[in-house]
Structure 1
Amino acid sequence: MEADEPTTMICTLLAIDNTTGFSYRVCSVCERTLPDNPSSLCKFCSVNAFNPRFPRTKRLFRLLMSIASDTKVLNVICFDRAAKVLFGCSAEEFFDFAKFHPFAAVNASRILDGEMFKMTLSKPKNGNAQHLRAVQVVPLRSGFQPAIVSLRELYGVRSS
């Protein structure tokens, strides 16, 4: 991918490479990244900016994936909006599910391995970033089920 314009390609998901850290914490107001320590809060937002009924932090997806097109294998990063297509739930919901089912991340990777997608990839805007971004993900199989649906079936959990 040489041009700065996003490129759309048909590809196969080979693996989700970061099965231990699928998500990260951000401030619920400004969405700046926060440390994984649950007691850490945003240093940039005013305490008055938070509504006591809503949490101060939230989780967003960040997946490192290996994909294959007909000509090459690429490592790409898939952030929250595109990852929700793969998982069928929010990162917060998946994080809570994985707390009760410790191998959920590994099983989600296995469930999604080999699936074919039409992906739109773009170069990162941050000059320090290493990987292309998957900005849009469209499943190609008509019977595609998001990972959370298959995981609920696997673990015998009813959806809420």
Structure 2
Amino acid sequence: MEIEKPTTMMCTLLAMEQTNFCYRVCSVCERTLPDNPTSLCNFCNLNSSKQSHSSPSKRLFRILMSVASDTRVFTVICFDRAAKVLFGCSADEFFDFAKLHPFTAATANRILEGEMIKVTLSRPKNGNAEHLRVSQVFPLRSGFQPAIQTLKEFYGVRTGS
């Protein structure tokens, strides 16, 4: 699907990539880091005075999704800000929850499958990128609750008050 400027449309979420839903970034400058948990940011390593955060890295969502409009099915990529609307938590929180509860990503996929959403799609800034970007997402169902809430109910996890 080719678009010249950001386009808003109504879609149905068909499926999400379940194995690679997030990536690590430096918690100071948000540059992408290797998956190795011990790796540090080379840029911020030089400026260690900035390293006041408790963790040198954090995770951000990067979710490949299949969506259907009224005329076609296509693949889009949903990054952190938009993905948080669907998941209701940070990528770190989702990752930690998934470590404790097997098949969390597959269950989240089933929870969100079939959701009607209004998305704003934009062209990638990188000319080599393959998929359109989801810059905004709005669930259309009045009873929508983010995936993490349903997952916590499903796995019987109590939330503190």
Give TM class, smaller chain: over 0.9
The whole-number CA distance in structure 2 between the counterparts of 1:142 and 1:122 is: 26
Aligned to 1:48: 49
Aligned to 1:4: 4
Does 2:64 align with 1:61? Answer: no
Deviating beyond 4 angstroms after TM superposition, the runs of 4 or more aligned structure 1 residues are: none
Runs of 5+ consecutive residues of structure 2 not aligned to the other structure: none
Name the SS of the counterpart of 2:149 in structure 1: helix
1:77 deviates by 0.2
TM-score (normalizing by structure 1): 0.96
Name the SS of the counterpart of 1:137 in structure 2: strand
RMSD: 1.0
Aligned to 1:127: 127
1:12-91 mapped onto 2 (5 Å cutoff): 12-16=12-16, 18-45=17-44, 46-51=47-52, 53-91=53-91
Equivalent AA in structure 2 for residue 64 of structure 1: L
1:82 deviates by 0.2
1:116 deviates by 0.3
Runs of 5+ consecutive residues of structure 1 not aligned to the other structure: none
Equivalent AA in structure 1 for residue 41 of structure 2: C
1:29 deviates by 1.1
Paired residues, number: 158
1:113 deviates by 0.2
1:47 deviates by 1.8
- The superposition leaves residues 131-153 of structure 1 with CA deviations (integer Å, 9 ceiling, x where unpaired) of 00000000000000100000001
- The superposition leaves residues 17-70 of structure 1 with CA deviations (integer Å, 9 ceiling, x where unpaired) of x2011111000111111011110000011222110x521101000000000000
Identity of aligned residues (%): 70
